[in-house]
Amino acid sequence: MLEQDAIATATVHVDKPVAEDVIKPRRITDETLSLQASLHCDWQTATSNTVDDLETLAALLQLDALELRKQVETNEFQLRVPLPFVSRMRKADLRDPLLLQVLPLKLELLDVPGNHHDALDEKTYNVRPGLVHKYKARVLLTAAVSCPVNCRYCFRRHFPYDENRLTPSRWQPALDYIRHDSSIKEVILSGGEPLMLNDRTLTRLLDEIESIEHIKHIRIHSRYPIVVPQRLTPELCKRLIQARCNIALVLHCNHPNEIDKHVKHHLTALVNSRVTLLNQSVLLKGINNDVDTLSTLSESLYDAGVIPYYLHATDPVVGTAHFQVDDALAQDLALELSYRLPGYLVPTLVREVHGKQAKTRLPLAPASD
């Protein structure tokens, strides 16, 4: 079922396989966007051409579909990736760091002690449908419950989105809660993906939040400008720049290959505006757990006008064990980064610890003699 005010994602149109174990090369039909065209169409079209089957992905990336299927086990958190993001993956490379972020590997089925479905204990702080109030002075609003991409390491992959589905008609309890607590200074729009809301609905939501006098800051957590850069429409950028509140747009980018000229181009309207552009990354084994990749990521972000903000230690979430990096290596990497880069390009290494009043900063590893 599609939400009226959010756009939908859909599969790329392909013929269905004849049988599960007989996989033939797919012919992308005429209705389908090419990778190149997906970079220049509008964001709704780019989003609705999301790939959600292995055969199409294999065809687009010149991979052997049978080989791909041997490593993959689909589950309820299905494959979902839009074409502009696929366009930045290397062809014929099963180890591509962007591909590995979206591929539902059999490794997700590993049963690892200590991993939880709700590792961050967000249900405890779910004070109203769609509203999490965990830390002082700030609340998190799940403005939309789906994403244009399913990141395999997502710590919210088991979040009860259905209970937290906020359509405009259901905003009121959350807004009333914020209005009645003047200690709240910041509203964080998260998800899912808040930019799944179209510009009109997002503007209405921003208007509602800005009508609450004690709200000073609005933060938007979004992976959209990375996976579908044209989501930063001129109308959206204008609304953000003209906001009454301070606006921070916190992107989510994990690897330098995610930043290309299209991402940079669409960020241009916000660079040098009063919107603060930050990035948070997740430290992921096999994707970015080496100092060369992390330092190149920081440099690439800075080239695009974005300041690296957080590097998240991986949360112990069921299905993500194969991405987890142990703390000692994470701290070594952070120390090495601090040697290589100016301080403003070194993201703070953090993790969420149950019951703490803020994110916990992991100390840099002590330098060895």
CA-nearest of 293, 312, 240 to 269 is: 240
CB-wise, 53 or 193, nearer to ligand SF4? 193
Angle at 283 between CA 277 and CA 73, to 5 degrees: 115
| Beta-bridge mates of residue 311 | 281, 349
CB-wise, 159 or 171, nearer to ligand SF4? 159
Residue with tokens 């494959």: 79
Instruction: Supply 288's token pair.
Output: 């970015």
What residues numbered 50-69 form the site for ligand SF4, per CB under 6 A?
none
46, 86, 143, 149: which one binds ligand SF4 (CB under 6 A): 149
Residue with tokens 């080239």: 303
84, 97, 130, 191: which one binds ligand SF4 (CB under 6 A): 191
- Peptide bond just before 192 cis, omega within 30 deg: yes
Contact status: 156 vs ligand SF4 (CB under 6 A): yes
Concatenating the DSSP letter of every residue in 215-238 gives --EEEEEESHHHHSGGGS-HHHHH
Residues 151 and 252: their CA atoms lie apart, in Å, by 11
Instruction: Please count the residues of the chain.
Output: 369
Whole-number minimum distance, CB 151 to ligand SF4, in Å?
Answer: 3
Contact status: 284 vs ligand SF4 (CB under 6 A): no
Whole-number minimum distance, CB 192 to ligand SF4, in Å?
Answer: 6
Is residue 321 within 8 A of residue 112, CB to CB? The reply is yes
The backbone torsions φ and ψ at residue 161, rounded to the nearest 5 degrees and listed phi first, read -65, -35
Contact status: 193 vs ligand SF4 (CB under 6 A): yes
* Distance separating the N- and C-terminal Cα atoms of the chain: 60
DSSP 2: -
Q: What is the per-residue binding string for ligand SF4 in 99-138, x denoting contact by CB under 6 A?
A: ----------------------------------------
Residues 320 and 107: their CA atoms lie apart, in Å, by 8
Q: What is the per-residue binding string for ligand SF4 in 239-258, x denoting contact by CB under 6 A?
A: -------------x------
CB-wise, 65 or 153, nearer to ligand SF4? 153
Angle at 344 between CA 340 and CA 349, to 5 degrees: 80
Segment interacting with ligand SF4 (CB under 6 A) among 120-128, 162-170, 186-194, 240-248: 186-194
Whole-number minimum distance, CB 295 to ligand SF4, in Å?
Answer: 23
48 torsion bin: left (phi>0), alpha (psi -120 to 50), beta (else): alpha
Q: What is the per-residue binding string for ligand SF4 in 1-20, x denoting contact by CB under 6 A?
A: --------------------
Whole-number minimum distance, CB 226 to ligand SF4, in Å?
Answer: 9
Whole-number minimum distance, CB 25 to ligand SF4, in Å?
Answer: 29
Contact status: 150 vs ligand SF4 (CB under 6 A): yes
Segment interacting with ligand SF4 (CB under 6 A) among 18-26, 49-57, 147-155, 259-267: 147-155
26, 138, 223, 231: which one binds ligand SF4 (CB under 6 A): 223
- Name the residues that contact ligand SF4, by CB under 6 A: 147, 149-151, 154, 156, 191-193, 223, 252
